[in-house]
Amino acid sequence: MLQGKNILLGVSGGIAVYKACALTSKLTQHGANVKVMMTQNATEFVSPLTFQALSRNPVYIDTFDEKDPEKIAHIDVADWADIAIVAPATANIIGKLANGIANDMLSTTLLATQASVYIAPAMNVHMYAHPAVIENMKKLEEWNYHFIEPGDGYLACGYVGKGRLEEPESIIDTVSNHIASNSLFKGKKVLISAGPTREKIDPVRYFTNRSSGKMGFALAEAAAKLGAEVTLVTGPVDLRLTANHITRINVTSAEEMYEAMHSNFSEHDIVIKAAAVADYRPKVTFDDKMKKQPNNWNVEMERTKDILQSLGEQKTHQFLVGFAAETSNPIEYGIQKLKNKHLDAIVINNVASEGAGFAGDTNIATYVNKSLEPIEIEIASKLDVADKLMNYIARDMKDEVQ
């Protein structure tokens, strides 16, 4: 998987720098093109000449050491890299990345690159467990940085515990396996809907629901990480995307979402309707604000178009996935929806369960395909749930082809 890949190896200052030498050698043996960038502290442990000999490329240390006047070195390397690996990654470099600090060549280049970044921490066991370090790693994971957990064992400081840099072979295996999984949806187009809709009453009032859009956005991120070209149709939410290859279409009402989903439906291979679309809208709307009256105000509601039903009736080659948010008999109602709306799979949420409701950062789900055998996904972050769901979809699509 690494043959011909351009790999930036970032080396920060710690005793584990010696393992980065072996990692450089093994990466080149796998056919990768390796350029090493060291912090000044890292040069206190191993000479840059060692990495130059192993990588057969110049070693970068100083941001202001511009050897080629036609290029800005750190931007040139940031653009060149397909993959960036930081090994060893100290608490210092992790903290810099998590807080946008760019005060040396390595931190500046890592903030500038669009490559996938893999971080292999190495530090004292108590440093690794410090709340600040944990919070920084959590933030970076949310930004799609990938962590390679350190191993347990005897550390240079004399402590025994987690904090030892993972072995070079394991780092290479982790990166290779991740690259392989990232090609699951290569060449596929995925259409996803997310968030709520708002149904206007007058210029200041509307009907809506509790959906935050977080699950749909997580699915879009997960699909993009697996190599898909993603179109995300989203209702009004205050969320941003971090992955590349996602086209965002903003809508407000159920009618607008219907039009956006249908106009994009035919050209996509996988369609996931995660949005919580209003089932009803006001039959009469007002261009001016309705003034408060002494009596009650009855608002007559009419049905909106059933987006999922119509997509199911029109599908040809698409793998169509729906969502069912239920509060009682969730599996029964979810399977009924799967059958009635001609779906290939459905994701069922019991939104009454703690950890599975709207607006939270976690979810609990049940995935059911045409075999009608439920697969339970225990409570996890919505990003982790999305990863699992996309892998189940990839498996089912592969089974259909076979």
Active site residue 157: yes
Q: Which residues contact 267 (CB under 8 A, 6 or more apart)?
A: 189
Residue 162 marked as a ligand binder: no
Residue 273 marked as a ligand binder: no
Under DSSP, the state recorded for 60 is B
Of 75, 157, 180, 204, the catalytic one is 157
Q: Which residues contact 341 (CB under 8 A, 6 or more apart)?
A: 306, 308, 309, 312, 322
Cis amide prior to 88 (ω within 30 degrees): yes
Size (the chain), residues = 402
Whole-number Å distance between alpha carbons of 39 and 87: 11
Residue 315 marked as a ligand binder: no
Q: Which residues contact 208 (CB under 8 A, 6 or more apart)?
A: 196, 197, 198, 199, 278
Instruction: Give the DSSP letter string of 148-196.
Output: -PPEEEE-TTS-EEEEEPPPHHHHHHHHHHHHHHTTTTTT-EEEEEESB
Q: Which residues contact 336 (CB under 8 A, 6 or more apart)?
A: none
Residue 289 marked as a ligand binder: yes
Residue 152 marked as a ligand binder: no
Q: How far, CA to CA in Å, does 64 sit from each of 39, 51, 80, 86, 336?
A: 13, 20, 19, 21, 64
Question: Which residues does the annotation mark as catalytic?
Answer: 157
Enumerate the known binding-site residues for CTP: 279, 289, 323, 337, 341
Enumerate the known binding-site residues: 279, 289, 323, 337, 341
